[in-house]
Amino acid sequence: MKLISNITKMQEISEARALEKKRIGFVPTMGYLHQGHLQLVEKSVADNEITVASVFVNPTQFGPEEDYDEYPRDLDRDLDLLQERGVDYVLYPDVEDVYPEGFATYVQVEKGTDVLCGRSRPNHFKGVTTVVSKLFNMVKPHRAYFGQKDGQQLLIIRRMVQDLNMDIEVVACPTVREEDGLALSSRNKYLSPEEREAALIIYNTLQKTRERIEEGERDGWALKKAMEEAIKAEPLANLDYASIVSRDYLQELSRIEGPIMIAIAAFIGSTRLIDNVWLEVE
């Protein structure tokens, strides 16, 4: 496994491998890897001759009050985990090379980015789509792997890839969970034991909502209200949003129908956690 910091060198390597007719799989990450990331890596290694993972904590997707500086980092451990799973290259660029002085170009999806997480994190998805576009141009993958846990991000990246005619297959992988259901997240490490217990309210509420829909409930506002009340009943939780949206433009649904995403974001103590489940409703 090779660690690559130089962006041009990464492009040269990818072009050379592509000319050898090797398919390149790409797993972009912000590091501090958990089993959710590693599942993406394993799938890429299984599907492609070459796998590139990137480790880059992207400043432009954090708000001014958010945890960019404190975001957990552990490169040595990440490299061990990636090497064990057969990754070929790790792209680890300097932030000054990714955003040099005078940087001025952004990629923005203008639908579905101002709702859910985009409401409380106004420039978050603009930062995500810009850095993912850049990473795609650095790595030139044939396939790119994203977790369903960041459901809105996944849907927005798919829209970007389609709209801008990027010739890349976006592969979605299911959310990896602890045994009790909590979605894996690098931010789970912030949780105290009491908060870790309380955090379960998110997944439990999603599950309960899924069950009610499967039992025939179709009233979006009633389901939303029940989710809000469930989260509010947990003393350590502070609701950001609970929504049921269509998966095309992430529009909130008053009547539940079609391919949907049930999504919740809540602060548990001072840690913001998100989770979602996807359903096809007839």
Positions annotated as catalytic residues are: 37
Distance in Å, CB of 44 to a second copy, minimum: 20
Per CB under 8 A, the list member of 25, 31, 36, 112 interacting with a second copy is 112
**By CB under 8 A, which span of 30-38, 107-115, 237-245, 265-273 interacts with a second copy?**
107-115
Distance in Å, CB of 167 to a second copy, minimum: 5
Give the CA-trace dihedral at 58, 59, 62, 68, to 10 degrees.
100
Give the CA-trace dihedral at 280, 182, 114, 25, to 10 degrees.
-80
Spell out the residues 6+ positions from residue 31 whose beta carbon is closer than 8 angstroms to its own. 55, 56, 57, 72, 73, 74, 75, 78, 186
Q: How far apart are CA 251 and CA 241, in angstroms?
A: 14
Question: Does 132 interact with a second copy (rule: CB under 8 A)?
Answer: no
Question: Does 105 interact with a second copy (rule: CB under 8 A)?
Answer: yes
- CB atoms near residue 156 (< 10 Å): 25
Q: What is the DSSP string of 254-271?
A: SB--EEEEEEEEEEETTE
**Owner of token pair 């947990």:** 234
Question: Does 129 interact with a second copy (rule: CB under 8 A)?
Answer: yes
Q: Is the dihedral of CA 221, 226, 229, 231 positive or negative?
A: negative
Site track 138-157 with a second copy (rule: CB under 8 A), x = hit: x-x-----------------
Question: Does 247 interact with a second copy (rule: CB under 8 A)?
Answer: no
Q: How far apart are CA 74 and CA 99, in angstroms?
A: 22
Comparing CB distances to a second copy, the nearer of 107 and 171 is 107
Helix (H, G, I), strand (E, B) or coil at 24: strand
Question: Does 274 interact with a second copy (rule: CB under 8 A)?
Answer: no
Q: How far apart are CA 4 and CA 45, in angstroms?
A: 18
Comparing CB distances to a second copy, the nearer of 11 and 204 is 11
Q: Could you tell me how many residues make up the chain?
A: 282
Site track 2-21 with a second copy (rule: CB under 8 A), x = hit: -----x---x---x--xx-x
**By CB under 8 A, which span of 46-54, 77-85, 131-139, 227-235 interacts with a second copy?**
131-139
Comparing CB distances to a second copy, the nearer of 11 and 238 is 11
Comparing CB distances to a second copy, the nearer of 85 and 159 is 159
Comparing CB distances to a second copy, the nearer of 73 and 111 is 111
Per CB under 8 A, the list member of 54, 133, 153, 188 interacting with a second copy is 133
Q: Which one, of 191, 184, 213, 210, lies nearest residue 263 by Cα?
A: 210
Distance in Å, CB of 11 to a second copy, minimum: 5
Site track 157-196 with a second copy (rule: CB under 8 A), x = hit: --xx--xxxxx-----------------------------
Burial class of residue 259, CB neighbours in 10 A (0-12, 13-18, 19+): exposed
Question: Does 101 interact with a second copy (rule: CB under 8 A)?
Answer: no
Q: How far apart are CA 56 and CA 141, in angstroms?
A: 17
Q: Which residues bind a second copy (CB under 8 A)?
A: 7, 11, 15, 18-19, 21, 102-112, 129-130, 133-134, 137-138, 140, 159-160, 163-167, 248-249
